[in-house]
Amino acid sequence: RRVHGEWLDDVLNISNLDEDLKYYEKTGHVYEEKIKAMRYQAPKDLADIIQMFEQHLDEKIDRNCKVLDVASGTGLGGEIIRHELKFTGIVDGLEPVKNEGTIYCQETVYHYT
């Protein structure tokens, strides 16, 4: 059986947005731990894409710009934006589900108004 196989099977069996939101609301406090254990790469892929885009244009994106992270979850994407890519401007997180996991990122990564 895969690492965290039962949890992943549950996630893959979600068939609509309402189920997805309810499941994340219920399990969000362990979400980050589980996806990191599975070597989740999307936030790192985001950083790579931004860097490739900048290389292609031969121009850096202004690190003081405003950023909106939609479906910000526990803040993994925001951490990459802030710490690896060194964005210093306002980074807002938009997350439809509020749970223990998303509360942490509100205080450490994102600017909320």
The Cα–Cα gap between 95 and 59 comes to 30
Which tops the pLDDT comparison, 69 or 55? 55
Q: Which residues, 6+ apart, have CB-to-CB distance to 95 below 8 Å? A: 71, 72, 73, 102
Global pTM value = 0.67
pLDDT at 36 over 60: yes
Tokens of 8: 């992943």
pLDDT at 84: 92
Q: For residue 76, what pLDDT band results from cuts at 50, 70 and 90?
A: confident
pLDDT at 101 over 70: no
Tokens of 91: 């980074």
Tokens of 56: 């292609």
